[in-house]
Structure 1
């Protein structure tokens, strides 16, 4: 299931260093996210989908698509062609399309709510995702909502790993993204959640996927008995005028 390879055909697309490299391991990471449902409950409040058309932008291998029960329609858009078949194989009736934040293959004013989970919308010094936001505004109906799930770079143990990791510079290691969204008129809601893994081996493997070996090893050495860590999130909610 996890080994099929296809060609990526978006010139502005850069494959993710986690799911794009090892989708099977990223499945384990997804399963560890927010097991207590705190982030999910906040997402439901900020971008409710009951009876609405929902777009999961950057849906990856489609892990979250089956959870949007009650939506009138669920659409996944993913730029990595290698992940499309995995997303389409998920249970449920989601429609999965090849596209990106800058190239959403949907009509104007066709979507009620957009969720972007740890995908694309990571503004930082030198990178401005405004073109993607403009494209989201095109497909959102007036009054529709975009909710971006981002990493909190200040609170939680995951934030401390981000600060120690040079890899994370491309996603921001400071509060720049928070101010960027505020300038766009978005409302930001912090949610402290967690990663909770079934085994120590799973935690170790995911930390080595997400962070340089020395950063991961230092944290694991300092926490020899742990199978999880605290994980702060920021939900940026932007309403289409």
Structure 2
């Protein structure tokens, strides 16, 4: 396969593609007390199994799956592949997308999609990617989608105020979409926690429009932490 900038139907995420150092700061701030991480392990344990990080980006989370028998990252933005492959831990990183996974049938036990592709809304149906995930999952395998809760937490306040977030869908729609496909959804409340307020503000400014951040920071800043709600969608292919 010849690597272009990205797949023709892929819209790159500017946060990590254009602000890689700040995106590292953002990732380090996620889930400081391990609430999300424990929920992921309970939903679909990966110890001794083959795990796929779908939309792995620059690969920040790949080394965290150290208990897996094999870790595979798939990323549709060719600009991020070298960074992902340079991570420690020996994960295999492949160029592909949710709709075109470069993997064999029945080859994966657990798929994680972390803020990638599976944001169903009125103008986007991610069913093709779900079909492809079903193809590569072994019997009994599970997909866990880490989504943003747009109703609960301070991060949700920013999402609701931002027109950038429209394509993520409002919480009732994606939850209903997943329920119609037999998935369960678990809400979790966690946080972002930064070393200093300047980092917090800088990360907010790569995620949200300036006017939204200005208003929120005027009311709530300076701060090093904000509450962050997640939705975990757990799905198994129908037998």
Alignment TM class, shorter chain as reference: over 0.9
- 1:184 matched to 2:151: no
Q: Runs of 5+ in structure 2 lacking a partner?
A: none
Q: 2:17 aligns to what SS in structure 1?
A: coil
Aligned residues: 236
**In the TM superposition, what is the alpha-carbon distance from 1:8 to its structure 2 partner?**
1.7
* Cα-to-partner distance string for 1:191-237 (whole Å, 9 max, x where unaligned): 10000011111111111110010101111111123111000000000
2:179 is equivalent to residue 175 of structure 1? no
Q: Does 1:158 align with 2:158?
A: no
Residues 114 and 184 (structure 1 numbering): CA distance in 2 closer, same or farther, change over 3 Å?
Answer: same
Correspondences of 1:100-179 after superposition (within 5 Å): 100-179=97-176
SS of equivalent to 2:186 = strand
Structure 1 residue runs of 4 or more that deviate by more than 6 Å after TM superposition: none
SS in 2 for 1:105: coil
Q: Identify the range of structure 1 (185-194 vs 223-232) with the bigger mean alpha-carbon deviation.
A: 223-232
Contact 1:47 1:115 in 2 (8 A): no
**Gapped runs of 5+ residues in structure 1?**
1-5
Cα displacement string for residues 15-41 of structure 1 (whole angstroms, at most 9, x for unaligned residues): 013112212211111110001100000
TM-score of the aligned structures, taking structure 1 as reference length: 0.96
Partner in structure 2 of residue 71 of structure 1: 68
TM-score by length of 2: 0.96
* Mapping 1:11-90, distance limit 5 Å: 11-90=8-87
SS in 2 for 1:109: coil
**RMSD of the TM alignment (CA)?**
1.0
Q: Do 1:162 and 1:173's aligned partners in 2 also have CA atoms closer than 8 Å?
A: no
Deviations, residues 27-66 of structure 1 (Å, cap 9, x unaligned) = 1111100011000000000121001000000000000000
- After superposition, the C-alpha distances for 1:71-91 in whole angstroms (9 at most, x for unaligned) are 110000000111100000000
The 3-state SS of whatever aligns with 1:19 is helix
- Offset of residue 69 of structure 1: 1.5
Cα-to-partner distance string for 1:68-126 (whole Å, 9 max, x where unaligned) = 01111000000011110000000011000000100100000000010000111100111
Q: d(CA) in 2 for partners of 1:114 and 1:174?
A: 22
Rounded to whole Å, the distance in 1 between the matches of 2:221 and 2:161 is 19
